[in-house]
Amino acid sequence: MFIIKNPFDNNMSVTRGLIFSLVSIIPAMILGLVSYIILGGVTSSPEGSDFMYGPCYGVPFSIIIISFIYGLKEQPELE
Where residue 3 falls among pLDDT bands split at 50, 70, 90?
low
Domain residue ranges of the chain, discontinuous segments joined by +: 18-72
Question: pLDDT digits over 13-60, tens only?
Answer: 888 889 999 999 999 999 999 998 898 887 787 777 777 888 888 999
Contacts of 70 (CB under 8 A, 6+ apart): 2, 17, 20
**DSSP single-letter state for residue 10:** -
Q: What is the pTM of this model?
A: 0.76
pLDDT score, position 78:
55
- Angle at the Cα of 33 (from 29 to 67), degrees rounded to 5? 30
